[in-house]
Amino acid sequence: MNVTQWHFSAPNDGVTIRTLTPQEVASWKVITQYQQVQENWVKTQEAKGVKDAAQTLKQVTAIMKESMKK
């Protein structure tokens, strides 16, 4: 099951989790400019002498994409 297809609710625990629709995800990407934030983070880390910041971000992104498929 794709994450965008499920909804979890546990009202007795005060918890409701609703995943974003594909349209909401697209809007979120534009509004938050998260990819630009990530690029800036990589540049900042590399300026500080941190090696492999870009590769680390790529690996984290791949892990997140894979986990979202489950």
Alpha helix (H) ranges present in the chain? 22-32, 34-47, 53-69
Q: Which domain holds residue 61?
A: 24-70
Residue 6: which of 14, 15, 17, 26 has the closest Cα?
Answer: 17
- The structural domain count of the chain equals 1
β-bridge partners, 16: 9
Listed as own residue / partner, the contacts of 60-69 with beta carbons closer than 8 Å and 24 or more positions apart are: 68/2, 68/3, 69/2, 69/3
Half-sphere exposure of 5 (CA within 13 A, CB side): 5
**What average pLDDT does the segment 13-17 reach?**
76
More confident: 52 or 11: 52
> Does residue 14 form part of some domain?
no
User: Over 70: is that where the pLDDT of 5 sits?
Assistant: no
User: Over 50: is that where the pLDDT of 4 sits?
Assistant: no
> Does residue 31 form part of some domain?
yes
**Predicted structure pTM score:** 0.61
Which amino acid makes up residue 9? S
